[in-house]
Amino acid sequence: MLVKNVTLSVSLSLTIMQLVGFWAPNLRGNKRIIYDCYGFISFMFLLGTYLIIQSVDLFMIWGDLPMMTGVAFVLFTNLAQATKIFFTVRRRELVLKIVSSSDEVLRAVKSDEAKKIVKSCNRETLFLHMVFCFLTFVTMLGWATSAEKNQLPLRAWYPYDTTASPAYELTYAHQIGALYVAAFLNVCKDSLVTSLIAQCRCRLRLLGLMLRSLCQGMEISDKYHLTLDQETTVKQRLHSCVVDHQAALEAAVQIQECFSEQIFAQFNVSLVIICVTAFQLVSQTGNPVRLMAMATYLVNMMFQVFLYCYQGNQLSEESSEIAGAAYEAPWYLMSTSLRRSLLIVMVRSRRLARITAGSFTTLTITSFMAIIKASYSLFTLLQQVEERN
């Protein structure tokens, strides 16, 4: 059943997570127990098995740098995804609160201009979601079709001979099936977090529209000041703006509390993944399909980090523009007390909404560039070690 949300990318993400077993619907009793068991089996099929067999394989080939990097880029991806699943399931109630709060606010807009802002948010998040899905699909397709005869798409240790039939066919089918589902599940979890940040941005843009429209629909007298009735109306509107501003900032704080650790884990893992994927990329010389798949995977991993940093950066930008929106209101028509109230809103907006990765670094474009530079430095180090060996 489709999880309803005003933002389609959020709806798609939650629906996929529910189908896979990681976002429980409102079930009770035996039905909830069955669903939880289904979620555990799904986790083991998609990620748990890979984490075990690739960890064993990494231990067995320890010291062989090219082979280690060939295992590490998928192992670390699955490790990051398992971490994100754990935190998302553990904090389901808080995630649900964030989703419901933003959905309620964005559905309640009435003016045409406000609806355009909501639609713009929906289009942007859906576009980014589709780009992420496309890169993931191309990567998975490349891996599925690049395997040599009697070879699996990805390295892993198995307690049986994977070259014999039907073990080879069954193992091949498991790798490809689990990889496809796990990859798109990973897209959904990342899109969920970044779309929630985008919804928070949308709420701030709606707030800016409300501030600029404080005196909308009012006939101004020749004396260029508001009447008592108009002052009362503007006070009520300004009060609504203050409430909405506080709610949007609270939503940003909740996103920070809920997803900060997993974003931090993702950034650290992505730093390693980008490095080892680049190392594998320069090592792929005889298989053009595999080369294309690794190149797409590298772009995919960088795009994943970029999504978080872009949305976090834009959130801070939208938050900083609230003061400008308040100044664009016709404050010169207001009484002294109303001007003071508007000034308080402007001063309050100087405290920007920020999302951090584990309270270590703020999500900005600068952070994205720092991760790419660190990955390149680590990649250079790996190349130097390999050349010495």
Candidates 10, 40, 22; CA nearest to 90 is: 22
pLDDT grade, residue 131 (50/70/90)? very high
pLDDT tens-place string over residues 31-41: 888 988 988 99
Residue 68 scores a pLDDT above 80: no
Exposed e or buried b per residue across 299-327, where buried means at least 16 C-beta atoms within 10 angstroms of its C-beta: ebbbbbbbbbbbbbbbbbebbeebbebbe
Residues 6+ apart with CB under 8 A from 325: 207, 208, 209, 211, 212
Report residue 357: phi and psi, to 5°.
-95, 100
Query: What is the pLDDT at residue 223?
Result: 60
Query: What is the pLDDT at residue 202?
Result: 92
pLDDT grade, residue 222 (50/70/90)? low
239, two tokens: 């009060």
Q: Are the C-beta atoms of 182 and 46 separated by less than 8 Å?
A: yes
CA–centroid distance for 42 within its chain: 22
Query: What is the pLDDT at residue 285?
Result: 62
Q: Are the C-beta atoms of 303 and 131 separated by less than 8 Å?
A: yes
Sort 387 into a burial class: Cβ within 10 Å, 0-12 / 13-18 / 19+: exposed
The DSSP bridge partners found for residue 362 are 356
How many residues does this entry show for the chain?
389
Average model confidence (pLDDT) for the chain? 84
Instruction: Spell out the domain ranges in the chain.
Output: 8-214+225-388
Query: What is the pLDDT at residue 324?
Result: 85
158, two tokens: 């198995």
Sort 184 into a burial class: Cβ within 10 Å, 0-12 / 13-18 / 19+: middle
Instruction: Give the largest Cα separation in the chain, rounded.
Output: 92
d(CA 179, CA 176): 5
Task: Please tell me whether the overall predicted TM-score, pTM, comes out greater than 0.85 for this model.
Answer: yes
Please give the DSSP secondary-structure letter assigned to residue 332. Answer: G
